[in-house]
Amino acid sequence: MKNCMVTQLRHKQQKHGMVQAAAPSAGVRLIAFFKLFKGLVLFAVGIGAARLLHKDLAFEVEHWADIFRVDPNNRYFHRLLERFLSLDARKLKELSVGTFFYSALLLTEGTGLVLGKRWAEYFTVVATSSFIPLEVYELTKRVSSAKLIVLLLNGAVVVYLVIELFRNRKNRRA
């Protein structure tokens, strides 16, 4: 009797589209949390860029370098200072808007993946693979290990999610 009721309930759920999404695999959860982490970091960067809009950038960079006890004669610090001094209000606004947009994209991907949504897997494959040509282009301009690692990681994410989608397509049809 109990099994009959469970079967009827499942049939009703399937009929009305109320079947729960399958729990994401460990790999998908890892990708999801990484996407959420990057999204939150970029959100913070966007806020930081927006807060710098009408301030003296040189003073702000020196202030933060002092807080973090960065050697003012450090060549990396000087490169960072040069880059910040080249930013004007328009560029800061563009940087802020761009980081907010990319943050929203990453947070959407990560949230959908954590919730085990199939659309999120497709969305992540499309969004992540759309950046690969840009990453390849950047590598042709100037090769660096960081750029190569980002390209390889994004390629691995796309391949893994495509494999997951094909592996689970039968289980998730409802």
Q: Is the pLDDT of residue 113 over 90?
A: yes
Boundary-marking domain end, from 115, 132, 161? 115
Is residue 110 a contact partner of residue 33, using CB atoms and an 8 Å limit? yes
Query: HSE (CB half, 13 Å, CA atoms) of 78?
Result: 4
Q: Is the pLDDT of residue 82 over 80?
A: no
**Residue 8 in domain:** no
Mean of pLDDT values over 29-54:
90
Nearest CA-CA partner of 147 in 163, 171, 131, 165? 131
**139-152 tens-digit pLDDT:** 999 999 999 999 99
**Residue 16 in domain:** no
Predicted pLDDT of residue 1: 54
Q: Is the pLDDT of residue 174 over 50?
A: no
Q: What is the pTM of this model?
A: 0.72
Look over the chain and give the mean of its residue pLDDT values, rounded to a whole number. 82
Most confidently modeled range among 27-41, 70-84, 85-99 = 27-41
Provide the domain limits for residue 101: 24-115
Q: Are residues 92 and 171 in the same domain?
A: no
